[in-house]
Chains A and B, each alone.
Chain A
Amino acid sequence: MRITCPYCGERDVREFSYLGGEPGPRPEGRDADIETMFEHVYQRPNPAGPIREYWYHAAGCHSWLIAERDTRTHAIAAVTAAADREVRS
């Protein structure tokens, strides 16, 4: 698998480390109830199909990226910088 970093170009997957599917925005820990924190920490996206997920370009530019990838085929439709993402609410 190769990931096209928006800053560095197409690079081997070995250069990246994986965090997982993009969760919703992080709840405010002091105010959130247990159920909300549980949902955020443990109920992570796990679709058989397109997923939006975080990758870190550890052996490159050190950027956090968001890839849109199909978990059945590993085909990547788009990669963008996480810094540019629209935070879902």
Chain B
Amino acid sequence: MMTRYSIFSVVKNALTGQRGWQPAWRDPAPKPAYDVIIVGGGGHGLATAYYLASQHGITNVAVIEKGYLGSGNVGRNTTIIRSNYLLPGNTPFYEWSLKLWEGLEQDINYNAMVSQRGVLNLCHSDAQRDAYARRGNAMRFAGVDAELLDREQVREMVPFLDFENGRFPIRGGLLQRRGGSVRHDAVAWGYARAADARGVDLIQNCEVTGLRREGNRIVGVETTRGYIGAKKVGLAVAGNSGRVAGMAGLTLPIETHVLQAFVSEALKPLIDTVVTFGAGHFYISQSDKGGLVFGGDIDGYNSYAQRGNMPIIEDVAECAMALWPAIGRVRMLRQWGGVMDMSMDGSPIIDHTGIDGLYLNAGWCYGGFKATPASGWCFAHLIARDQPHEVATAYRLDRFATGRLIDEKGAGAQPNLH
């Protein structure tokens, strides 16, 4: 039984030398078979397992992870959450995700440090302001909060930026106050602990190496710890989607690309919101430890290398200097990369695969962290009921063939432009 975390458990353990804490989840050996196997112990896989148990009463479930829980992108991202989307296929889904974030910590009894500090997208030209006005209006029509700020309102929030920059003067911004950041590892740990407490087996250091089929039905997975049977298998392996789906003979409309993240030395509180630069790909916030957390573009070519290249480091640093010159005095402390599943229209897939019992959750690109709760919620719904959840009906695998793309950027079938 899971011990509830509360102020009382903190005080009690403080008084007894912190010796009373139990491991947050079990370390079970795989059973011969499960009702549902989720491949991938990232945010999406763990959330799916948790909601299968909590919303659908399906608890004979295993999450199979090749490394340790949270070793993938859920522990590598820059922790931004928001629901400032334009297209009807996306808006209800990301808004549902934000609503789930708002109640997550109470639901899973875990402090994930959900912080609605706002996400501010800056605009640097009249045309860009018009585009943001349109986006903001679309959001408000869909019941999502959005405010268009003029330059002085932006200056009040973040006075230290370079407002009079010769090339990219700041003209205003689109603010979503309910956006913000969440402690990413805590999301993995919190969902893991809550799923485990409901009977889900979390199997770590176990790589899926094959998907076993009988006719057109999936019957189990081959792993480095032996064969495990399953009535249903859900894939949630992010940057490895193409690789794992390939084990069932599927080709996906996805390319795998690397995205980098950066953290500076720890500083006193400097910036209390999330800011995105509108004239280049750059965004920044500050973690509770004090590090400035920032990122930019993907490296731009197919990669499974989980490390970043120098041109992007320079590009991100140049954007930072254009936006916030004082940042030049701060030292960059760490930098890393994660491999992501960039889909052909920049939007995700939550769907059947056409193989009975095999379900796909993929194509999350840059922005899948914010989607974690709703992705788990909708994937669990699909697996449990064999019907898409109403906020995820647009995320079909066949939309590329039918022309029903969800291309927020209008970039076309070129993943490195999304």
Contacts and interface: CB of A to CB of B under 8 A. Distances in A.
Our verdict on whether A and B bind, yes or no, reads: yes
A46 interface: yes
A13 B311 contact: yes
B243 interface: yes
Contacts of B255: 20-21, 44, 46
Contact of A35 (B251, B302, B401, B414): B401
Given A20-B414, A46-B252, A71 B302 contact: yes
Given A48-B304, A72-B304, A41 B242 contact: no
B308 to A, nearest CB: 11
Contacts of A12: 311
B260 interface: no
Nearest to B314: A14
Interface string A19-62: 11100000000000011001001111011100101000000000
A73 B301 CA distance: 12
B413 interface: yes
Given A71-B256, A72-B304, A42 B400 contact: yes
A1 B310 CA distance: 8
For the side of the interface on B, what is the size category? 20 to 34
Nearest to B307: A74
For the side of the interface on A, what is the size category? 20 to 34
A18 interface: yes
Interface string B25-41: 00000000000000000
B303 A13 contact: no
A30 B137 CA distance: 40
Interface string B380-418: 000000000000000000001100000000000111100
A48 B243 contact: yes
A49 B305 CA distance: 10
B400 A71 contact: no
B319 interface: no
Contacts of A48: 240, 242-243, 256, 304
Given A14-B311, A35-B401, A42 B413 contact: yes
B309 interface: yes
B355 to A, nearest CB: 16
B120 interface: no
B305 A73 contact: yes
A34 B401 contact: yes
Nearest to B255: A46
A74 B303 CA distance: 7
Interface string A49-89: 00101000000000000000101111000000000000000
A35 B401 CA distance: 7
B253 A43 contact: yes
Contact of A18 (B243, B252, B253, B301): B301
Contacts of B344: 41-42, 44
Contacts of A46: 242, 252, 254-256, 302
B415 A20 contact: yes
Contacts of A73: 305
A69 B255 CA distance: 15
Contacts of B401: 34-35, 38, 42
Interface in B43-89: none
Given A18-B300, A38-B401, A46-B254, A13 B305 contact: no
Given A18-B301, A20-B302, A71-B304, A42 B253 contact: yes
B415 A72 contact: no
B301 A53 contact: yes
Contacts of A21: 255, 302
A1, A38, A43, A48 — which one has the most chain B CB atoms within 10 A of its CB?
Answer: A48
Contacts of A42: 253, 344, 400-401, 413
A51 B413 CA distance: 19
Nearest 6 pairs of A and B residues by beta carbon: A42-B253, A38-B401, A46-B242, A42-B400, A48-B304, A18-B301
6 contacts: A20-B255, A35-B401, A41-B413, A46-B254, A71-B302, A74-B303
Interface of B: 240, 242-243, 251-256, 300-305, 309, 311, 344, 400-401, 413-416
Interface of A: 1, 12-14, 18-21, 34-35, 38, 41-44, 46-48, 51, 53, 69, 71-74
Given A44-B253, A44-B255, A46-B252, 4 more contacts: A20-B416, A46-B256, A47-B242, A71-B303
